[in-house]
Structure 1
């Protein structure tokens, strides 16, 4: 059995009640729930929340609500602990749980076909623990990162002595999780040995490379404008997402059990 779990906490310091904020006539949480419902390979959809309004909206949309315990509520929580709790709750309440699709309640930038692609990748490669959507860094490559000193000056982040070219094409490619899809086998949340900080993903996590920064979750009104553009342009979005590509299967042969 494959399930989707949407995590959506109450409260926000950036946008009040953003998980139920109106996005073109729908609460924000509608979009990840709808994407999961549109996925052929998803059998059930759950929402983990500590918010009454989010719970009510999620139930109205056909999702099952997982009520978080008090220690997992509020702003200052470890998202991994929320994910582990939700996964274990689902495992105790459904039969034959195999894979979990984890989605964020404050993003619209996900669709059913991408979820199915991720689940198919795990079906085709039982040696994998998980996969996630990522995008390739460009001007925001980590080698270009800086920090501000106590004197208010800029220095290279981390290794102060490293020499970095201005030609970004010379860097080894770097990727970021794009706030889109995490898919993992249920046992990985207990192993807690995934790539930091995504410790619930297991040791063998494969990428699905999306062709642009497709998974922007909403933190500001600027992000809200991007989200609304996404919803208004489904044909262009579908065309761009069709270019998403999982890692080539032959490169995974070394990991086969």
Structure 2
């Protein structure tokens, strides 16, 4: 018998969903979604502890790994994939891994999440060091792929944390820094792609954004290291320079294109 209540499997607070009209379905979903941010607020102390620890490790060359299965794995990959274009940091520093490999990003891979030894094998391919950190993501808090991965990571001296939606679950007990967001029952019973997934996305945003700010990838409130991959971003970067350096748009655009990033252009202009 389980020692904790698996909140993610609790019955929805709503019944007869198929009898609701569209507006009622959406209004009730929105009502539930409004609870998510408040639930995340309660775990800010744990998120703070993780970000501060990550900052220390990044200063020593450490990296951040997310491991997960299904929706949780995809959200970790999404967060990791947005670091290079948003903050200009190499894709080698924040890495998302999913049970079943890249195929599982788009299609479910049968039984992949049940392999408790595979996550560590996936991690070892990256020449893991003691300065790296592994964050396991699992709404249920019981996914073998994730639990096995964080346990092996911990045994090998890495910092481990988790993002889950079941306080007291096995995953929370397997890591040093547990982040357990209790969002209550899902609108559709057990569908953790809903409130649980939303809470995970919020927490991931907080972890990576706060970390990037702490390690100097943001100046003021601007993404000064963003990759200039399209005209919209070139225009945004140019306007940042106009504001920061008090120069005209054409000169700012020329500087940006010459140096390749807002930060490099600012440094070059001021020096």
TM over 0.5: no
Question: Greater Rg, structure 1 or structure 2?
Answer: 2
More strand by share: 1
Structure with more of its chain in helix, by fraction: 2
Using the size of structure 2 for normalisation, the TM-score is 0.28
TM-score (norm 1): 0.29
